[in-house]
Amino acid sequence: MPTALITGASRGLGAAIATALAGSHDVLLGGRPSAELDRLAASLGGATTFAAELTDYAAVAAATESITSLDVLVHNAGVESSLESVADTPVQEWQRVLEVNLVAAAELTRLLLPALRRSGGHVVFINSGAGIRANPGWAPYAASKFGLRALADSLRLEEPGLRVTSIFPGRIDTEMQRRIVAIEGDPYDGGAFLDPATVAAAVAAAVHTPADAHPVEVVLRPAGRP
């Protein structure tokens, strides 16, 4: 059975993606060591955990040493930004968001390229509507997602033996979304956002696209929203 590594898999969209791929792949559940990650592994029939802090590059390098072949790598891990203006955003916030959302994804990709090349693998980047359009207050987050799109585009051209897909979902009903809406000061209506299972289904569809096609970009928006 092919193998898929999903980062940020302990909850939310990452857990939904792992669940969507578990029937067709041996899944490696990436995330910080936690009871949530262990529970998900058990619920998926004893899936393997890839428990590492992605910005601890020495730990990530050690964790990837044993992965000699990899069919699918899904970059889902990420953090939101503080939703402040450029004028009010300190350098530490830029560094934090870019480190997690972009630099860590680039480094994990680099470390796993030999394994992906060996299997003619597929790299999926969970991007965002913010990777297509930047809005006021979202500069660090949007910059990280625009950068993630550039990483995917460059990788696609540099590695013709791989498939590379960017997924651009609109807002998703997750814990992260609850935090964002709370910062914005609005009431939370989960029904106004995408279901994580819907986005996970789009990821699975891209992964299962027959080999004669290359799913380059997938854009999803909540129904009724532009």
Q: Examine the residue annotation and report whether 141 is marked as an active-site residue of this protein.
A: yes
Residues sharing a CB contact under 8 Å with residue 115, sequence separation 6 or more, in sequence order: 64, 67, 68, 69, 70, 121
Residues sharing a CB contact under 8 Å with residue 117, sequence separation 6 or more, in sequence order: 159, 161, 162
Distance CA 145, CA 159 (A): 21
**C-beta atoms surrounding 133 within 10 Å:** 12
φ and ψ at residue 222, rounded to 5 degrees: -55, 140
CB–CB of 177/192 below 8 Å? no
Distance CA 176, CA 62 (A): 29
Amino acid letter for position 200: A
Catalytic residue selected from 125, 141, 146, 168: 141
Catalytically active residues are 141
